[in-house]
Structure 1
Amino acid sequence: MNHDLIPNPKKEVSILKAVKDVPEELLWKANFNSDNSIETYDKAIHSFLSFIGVGAPEELRQVEHGHVIAFKKYLQNSGCSPRTINNRLSAISSLFNHLIDKQVVKVNVAQGVRRMPVNADRVEAKVMTPDEVRKILSVPDTETLKGIRDKAILATLFYTGCRVSEVCKLKVKDFYQEQGYHVLDFWVKGGKRNRLAIHQELQILINSYLNVAGHGMENSSYLFLPVRNAPNCSDPERKLSRKTVDYLFKKYAKQASLYGVTPHSARATFITQALENNCPIEAVQKTVGHSQIKTTQMYDKRRTKYRESASFAVRY
């Protein structure tokens, strides 16, 4: 066991390798309904094991409370958000709880490690103005397939308020007409479907992309495909990663001289703009796939809230 707790970025330790003699780990991951949850928790455990230098199954049993505290401090120093840190700690705690139940280890080393304080009343993602949205949408080069695709992806984020993972999961068959409306049928959090009619501009952009890309008749194909070094578009494994969509969003934001915005800003912007334009919050909640209206309210950053600031009423 490496007790120095010095991260070694070159040492890639797979969770499957580190606990290969503990088949319970596979059962732990299989217990999650969402692929996103599996990916998030797997990444969290992977980073933790890499940090402490676990290289053999028996070493997992030597992990101590102090290792988790040191890992938390490392994440803080690395600039991770409080929510990210708490998610990493929750993943460690979840795995060790499972291993305790199966009598693989005796102690949950994450228990008692204090979570980071987070603002539960609002989402921190920056809301963009309509002019800023138009600015970023105008950046992709629509003379190229990649530019046409990227503009359609950006528009999907801004006109539906969906999550990045939901864009990546869309297939050609999820884009269709019903009762006179063009519809996108998303797989959302919790393994549920969320079908919604879409804005005419988004409809045009997706159709334009499919016409140029040429896979509009391949129903089993993912809607948005990689443009380079990719196999046949009918390959069900051919899709964009969340990392790719996150990268292209930030790239175009930088080119548009917009800073501090992320794909999550598109979701926050969609919700705020819909509410700003008097869309009932219940309709917004349903569109973005929130199970509770309180979650939707956390994204509400309408300008009226700023205009009503008591600071404007002060006279000295």
Structure 2
Amino acid sequence: MKQTENNILEYRSYLQIEKGLTRASIDAYMQDLKQYHDFLERKNLSLSDVKPEDLTGFLKEESLSGKQTKSIARLQSTLRNFHQFLQNNQYTVENPAQLLSRVKIEQSLPDVLTVEEMEALITSPDDTIAGQRDHAIMELLYASGVRVSELIDITIDDVNIEMGFINVIGKGNKQRIIPITDRSAEILDNYIKNIRLKFLKSENVYTLFLTQRGKGFTRQGLWKMIKKYQLQSNIKKNITPHTFRHSFATHLIENGADLRAVQELLGHSDISTTQMYTHLSAKKIREMYKKFHPRK
């Protein structure tokens, strides 16, 4: 199975160098392919021997193990793209994943915080050094709507306090310039001038938000930090770092922002992805209608 491992490593380089995917996206692909590699090893199959029925069996195994429909759909996409790469580079003759029928995903609407809940969450950290850093992180997440993977890669050079914007490298290595509020700019300015230096262990580290060890946050570390403040705020909804992005977009649209403008801010390549937030707003309107209309 050494050849399979080599092909996966070569595919990783392709995703990084030619496709320009983010570290988080590449890690997700590699996790999927690790599971696929383990399956092939158990079945004693080489990549050139794989048939559509083998892929179907693999996906069925993963589904029975408890994976949700969304994860199976992503896994299927990974297989299709990986086998297309193998065919394009003449490692295999065919792409057996092309014949797989696409998994249909029921789009579930994520939890969104109210403005009051968001205010309670963001202002819950104490006045310690770590608390002021955490306050700055959550303030920026809500002010900009950036993805978690984008936030942890922001450097101090990506922040322009005077002009009030941040520079972000998103999916597909695409650059976005995102305006931030005066309040978040003020909090970031204080963090950079007075707080960040106290976490800095090496002058060669340019990552904006640093942990106690002087290194950048991981996605898991950021998730744990937010869960801590969720408990402090006594908010019962399911809050993740991505909740800030959902709330950012929903609140903008509820207050009359143009859908195309929100699409640009979020870095969506397809406006249909952004339209999910109009559904969230419509859902909220329906709930208010049912609650307050006199003829229920």
Change (3 A) 1:23 1:164: closer
Aligned to 1:153: 137
Residue in structure 2 matching 1:45, options 28, 33, 56: 33
User: Is residue 2:114 matched to residue 1:129?
Assistant: yes
User: Is residue 2:216 matched to residue 1:239?
Assistant: yes
Kindly indicate whether the alpha-carbon contact (under 8 Å) linking 1:172 and 1:220 is maintained by their aligned counterparts in 2.
no
User: Is residue 2:213 matched to residue 1:213?
Assistant: no
Q: Take 2:127 and 2:65, find their aligned partners in 1: how far apart are those partners? A: 37
AA aligned to 1:33 is G
User: Is residue 2:103 matched to residue 1:103?
Assistant: no
Aligned to 1:306: 287
Q: Take 1:93 and 1:201, find their aligned partners in 2: how far apart are those partners? A: 45
Aligned to 2:5: 19
Q: SS state of the match for residue 264, structure 1?
A: helix
Aligned to 1:265: 243
Change (3 A) 1:311 1:159: same
Q: Take 2:8 and 2:122, find their aligned partners in 1: how far apart are those partners? A: 48
Q: SS state of the match for residue 268, structure 1?
A: helix
Which has the larger displacement, 86-95 or 257-266? 257-266
Number of equivalences: 286
Q: SS state of the match for residue 95, structure 1?
A: helix
Percent identical across equivalent pairs? 26
Q: Take 2:228 and 2:221, find their aligned partners in 1: how far apart are those partners? A: 10
AA aligned to 1:227 is Q
Aligned to 2:174: 192
Kindly indicate whether the alpha-carbon contact (under 8 Å) linking 1:171 and 1:219 is maintained by their aligned counterparts in 2.
no
TM-score (norm 2): 0.80
Change (3 A) 1:103 1:197: closer
User: Is residue 2:74 matched to residue 1:92?
Assistant: no
Please tell me the root mean square deviation across aligned C-alpha atoms, in Å: 3.4
Q: Take 1:267 and 1:59, find their aligned partners in 2: how far apart are those partners? A: 42
Aligned to 1:289: 267
AA aligned to 2:287 is Y
Task: Tell me which protein shows more helix as a share of its residues.
Answer: 2
Alpha-carbon offset, residue 277 of structure 1: 1.9
Residues 190-241 of structure 1: CA deviation (Å, up to 9, x unaligned): 22221122122322332232212215xx69601011222x4xxxxxxx4222
Change (3 A) 1:21 1:130: closer
Mind listing any 5+ residue stretches in structure 1 that lack a counterpart? 2-15, 231-237
Alpha-carbon offset, residue 163 of structure 1: 0.6
Q: Take 2:274 and 2:225, find their aligned partners in 1: how far apart are those partners? A: 26
AA aligned to 2:264 is K
Alpha-carbon offset, residue 266 of structure 1: 1.4
TM-score (norm 1): 0.76
Residues 3-38 of structure 1: CA deviation (Å, up to 9, x unaligned): xxxxxxxxxxxxx88422787535643432222433
AA aligned to 1:306 is E
Kindly indicate whether the alpha-carbon contact (under 8 Å) linking 2:144 and 2:179 is maintained by their aligned counterparts in 1.
no
Q: Take 1:102 and 1:47, find their aligned partners in 2: how far apart are those partners? A: 22
Kindly indicate whether the alpha-carbon contact (under 8 Å) linking 1:172 and 1:219 is maintained by their aligned counterparts in 2.
no
Aligned to 2:183: 201
AA aligned to 2:32 is A
Moved over 6 A (4+): none
Kindly indicate whether the alpha-carbon contact (under 8 Å) linking 1:18 and 1:55 is maintained by their aligned counterparts in 2.
no
User: Is residue 2:70 matched to residue 1:83?
Assistant: yes
Q: SS state of the match for residue 6, structure 2?
A: coil
Which has the larger displacement, 193-202 or 64-73? 64-73
Q: Take 1:242 and 1:17, find their aligned partners in 2: how far apart are those partners? A: 31
Change (3 A) 1:46 1:84: same
Kindly indicate whether the alpha-carbon contact (under 8 Å) linking 1:250 and 1:261 is maintained by their aligned counterparts in 2.
yes
Aligned to 1:223: 208
Mind listing any 5+ residue stretches in structure 2 that lack a counterpart? none
Q: Take 1:97 and 1:292, find their aligned partners in 2: how far apart are those partners? A: 23
Q: SS state of the match for residue 152, structure 2?
A: helix
Change (3 A) 1:26 1:132: closer
Aligned to 1:163: 147
Change (3 A) 1:43 1:32: farther
Alpha-carbon offset, residue 39 of structure 1: 2.7
